[in-house]
A and B are shown apart, each in its own frame.
Chain A
Amino acid sequence: MSMMADHQGNSLFARIMNSNMAYSFKRNPVAIVSMAIFLIITLAAVFAPLIAPTDPYDPSLYDILDSELPPAWTNQGDPKFLFGTDDQGRDLWSAILYGTRTSLIIGICAVFVQAFLGISIGLISGYVGGRIDNILMRFADIQLSFSTLMVAIIFLAVSQALFGSETFNKYALFMLVGVIGIAEWPQYARTVRATVLAEKKKEYVDSARVLGFSSIRIMVRHILPNSLSPIFVISTVQVANAIISEASLSFLGLGMPVSQPSLGSLISSGFDYIFSGSWWITTIPGVVLVVLVLVINLLGDWMRDVLNPKLYKG
């Protein structure tokens, strides 16, 4: 019974610290460093309005005389502008903070859209099976045979032409979330379907069916919680992918407008000046983007290793 008391006395925090995942995390320096960098970037992005010295969304604060100032540590640098300024005289450090925020919001929201669509379709497809499964999976195959960027470019270019760039710029964030979310659902649907196919053969599903639970209840309450590990793993990778997709689209001028830049549009806006010596406008947001995507992917790798029972029990 003393074991029993222990068990119930433990707080949630202690349980998390004692879990397999925490153990492997503490022993994996790559995961620790990645997590630290990811947290720093995320916190900086979340608290951007507090950290940023100026508001990059307010053009009245720019001074054209400050344009294309190099970073503070170079000879001609101005200590007022840590990472220098862009061609409009906008403080790059503030723009990067706000841009990271935009990129992360789009990445995470797009993954939520993907996950919602993909998990629902995957669950139905795997659990119901038969003809419905066939139809849904053929849709997924068709969707997968178009590249995400192609679908996104066509959709965004058409809607930009249709609504005019004024309206388009206003709703660019939602458009990006929607289009990246819809274009990538098959990744989730296929993974979830594969897990559901394995889970639904287990006896606890039969037992739930004999107890007369509805299919929806069995899918959501019984099968889904047991299919979470692959979902976590692809979610991290998909966040990184969505951020890259968003950056690519913004770079092509189909994403966030220059007045509300994401990392992609910052890189794009500096690209015209890279040969005139203003390397920092493109390079610094580029480095932030690479580091952000890299740490998310490293965390995803680590998570896949931990959550894959074959790897850690074998």
Chain B
Amino acid sequence: MKDNASNPAILELENLSKSFDLDKGFLETIKFKKGRITREKRSVHAVNDISLTITKGEALCVVGESGCGKSTVARLVSGLLNPTKGAIHYDGHRIDTLKGNALLPYRKRMQMIFQNPYASLNPRMTIQQALEEPVRHHNPSFSRGQIKDKVTEVMQSVGVDPSWASRYPHEFSGGQRQRIAIARALTVDPEFVIADEPISALDVSIQAQVLNLMLEAKEDRGLTYLFITHDLSVVQHFGTRVAVLYLGSICELADTATLFANPKHPYTRALLSAVPQLSDDRPNHIRLKGEIPTPINLPKGCPFQSRCAYADARCGTEQPLAIEQSDGSVVACHAVEEGRID
């Protein structure tokens, strides 16, 4: 993380939490249990106390299994959801409390690419309309010619022929649509892009294409990425740093190379050992027992204790803190802290 020290932080998440209420309204909170009427308010704790710093020019990947809160993090950062607790700072300014027009300058600097290219483009708008709309909205002073030029420029930069602009999204393939969705995000010249599993809905043969396009855009435009994925080989190819999420908490945060060479958290190890390999004739997977626990009733102590081979009494009572290791990675695990692993 040497070069990161000199780079300024672009985005800071400070003890960010998000929970979704399951029982909305007074009537739903009244339950009948064991012969007694009680009041109970349940909520899903999707993201718990996450602190992260993203520096300019990096590509921070967030990985984890389904339901661990990856997408919620992306939606919190992009402002689609409001955090329950904590704060989001963009370039030193707190943005999670801003509303409407006050947020507009940050919308221009921060864009999002979505998972499903079949749903993320409005089916009733031609590509031209879809790409022109954000340019016009964020640059009211642009002339028609300037808007057209901008649209042509972005379309070329994502490798979509500008002469196709009068077509509708359904006339394109998934990969083309995702490139158009990327073009749409790029029309406002953002510096920070949140990508929520942008390639997981695509054909494997197209995934590399889109990924390389995103890397190219990173080089050419100096973009910073927050990249949500569950595909570890993508992380290795794309990310500069990785945050491993489990049940809404970060268990390990490290440089990509460090994480792949020397994973420390037991969950990270299990995750990495599950990556299929070509030379894998004698698989030596770490098999996790059981399922990811429900995020409604979070376990006390370490969120991973129920499936961890190293869990002891302390893990059941005390939540592990994120502690920086000698190689720069940050790990939240009692076993690592006490040196019980390796």
Contact = CB atoms under 8 A, between A and B. Distances in A.
B2 interface: no
B123 A210 contact: no
Given A8-B166, A212-B137, A207 B104 contact: no
Nearest to B121: A204
B163 A207 contact: no
Contact of B184 (A206, A207, A222, A226): A207
Contact of B138 (A8, A208, A212): A212
Contact of A203 (B115, B138, B188): B115
Contacts of B124: 225-226
Of residues A208, A211, A226, which shows the largest number of chain B Cβ atoms within 10 Å of its Cβ? A211
B164 A211 contact: no
Interface in B74-126: 75, 78-80, 100, 103-104, 107-108, 110-112, 114-116, 119-125
Interface string A39-55: 00000000000000000
A30 B181 CA distance: 43
Contacts of B138: 211-212
Contacts of A203: 114-116, 119-120
Nearest to B129: A221
A204 B120 contact: yes
B148 interface: no
A7 interface: yes
A212 B104 contact: yes
Nearest to B171: A7
B316 interface: no
B123 A226 contact: yes
A209 interface: yes
A134 to B, nearest CB: 9
Contacts of A225: 122, 124-125
Nearest to B104: A212
A162 interface: no
Contacts of B184: 207, 211
A213 B137 contact: yes
Contact of A4 (B104, B133, B163): B163
Contact of B80 (A202, A210, A221, A226): A210
Interface string B47-89: 0000000000000000000000000000100111000000000
B312 to A, nearest CB: 43
B115 A210 contact: no
B167 interface: yes
Given A8-B166, A206-B80, A212 B120 contact: no
B181 A207 contact: yes
Contacts of B116: 203
Contacts of B164: 4
Nearest to A213: B137
B103 A212 contact: yes
A8 B163 CA distance: 10
Contact of B79 (A207, A210, A217): A210
Interface string A195-229: 00000001110111111111001000110011000
A7 B137 contact: no
Contact of A211 (B100, B119, B134, B166): B134
Contacts of A209: 79-80
Contacts of A7: 166-167
A221 to B, nearest CB: 8
A146 B60 CA distance: 59
Interface string A209-251: 1111110010001100110000000000000000000000000
A233 to B, nearest CB: 17
A1 to B, nearest CB: 9
Interface in A22-36: none
A203 B115 CA distance: 8
Contacts of A214: 100
A211 B137 contact: yes
Nearest to A3: B171
A204 B121 CA distance: 5
Nearest to A222: B122
B230 to A, nearest CB: 18
A206 B184 CA distance: 13
B278 to A, nearest CB: 34
Contact of A210 (B111, B137, B163, B166): B111
Looking at A209, A210, A214, A225, which has the most chain B CB atoms within 10 Å of its CB?
A210
Contacts of A206: 75, 80, 112, 114, 120
B107 A212 contact: yes
Contacts of B188: 211
Which of A206, A212, A222 has most B Cβ within 10 Å? Answer: A212
Nearest to A226: B124
B112 A207 contact: yes
B112 A210 contact: yes
A202 B121 CA distance: 9
Interface string A1-18: 000100110000000000
A207 B137 contact: no
Nearest to A217: B137
Given A4-B163, A4-B164, A210 B120 contact: no
B120 A207 contact: yes
Given A210-B110, A211-B133, A213-B134, 10 more contacts: A204-B120, A204-B122, A207-B181, A210-B79, A211-B134, A212-B104, A212-B107, A212-B137, A217-B137, A225-B124
Interface of B: 75, 78-80, 100, 103-104, 107-108, 110-112, 114-116, 119-125, 133-134, 137-138, 163-164, 166-167, 181, 184, 188
Top 5 nearest A-B pairs by Cβ distance? A212-B107, A203-B120, A225-B124, A203-B119, A203-B114
30 contacts: A4-B164, A7-B166, A8-B166, A202-B119, A203-B114, A203-B115, A203-B119, A204-B120, A204-B121, A206-B80, A206-B120, A207-B112, A207-B120, A207-B184, A208-B122, A209-B79, A210-B79, A210-B80, A210-B110, A211-B111, A211-B138, A211-B184, A212-B103, A212-B104, A212-B138, A213-B137, A217-B137, A225-B122, A226-B123, A226-B124
